Amino acid sequence: TIAREREIAIEQIKAEGKPAEMAEKIAVGKVNKFFKDNTLIAQPFVKDNAKSVGEYLKSVNADLKITEFKRIALG
């Protein structure tokens, strides 16, 4: 979960000896990266990495909505 990822990030940063204020800011950045990597809408679009999947959908048709998707892993 997002809360758990935040806790893990804070623990890692504190283990590196960084101040608590800095740990919080870095943790927010790490959680945002986790969110971007693990949600379909925020992931880079395969055919154009400059856009996210959500941005691509809006550029094609603002009314498009994802109702289902499948994850395929190779190897």
pTM across the whole model: 0.58
pLDDT of residue 52: 92
Averages of pLDDT over each 10 residues, the chain, 75 residues:
83 86 86 84 90 92 87 85
Strands 48-52 and 44-45: antiparallel
Sequence ranges of the domains in the chain: 1-38, 43-75
- Right CATH number for 1-38 from 1.10.286.20, 1.10.760.10, 2.30.30.830, 3.40.50.1470? 1.10.286.20
pLDDT of residue 34: 83
CB-based contacts of 48, cutoff 8 Å, min separation 6? 56
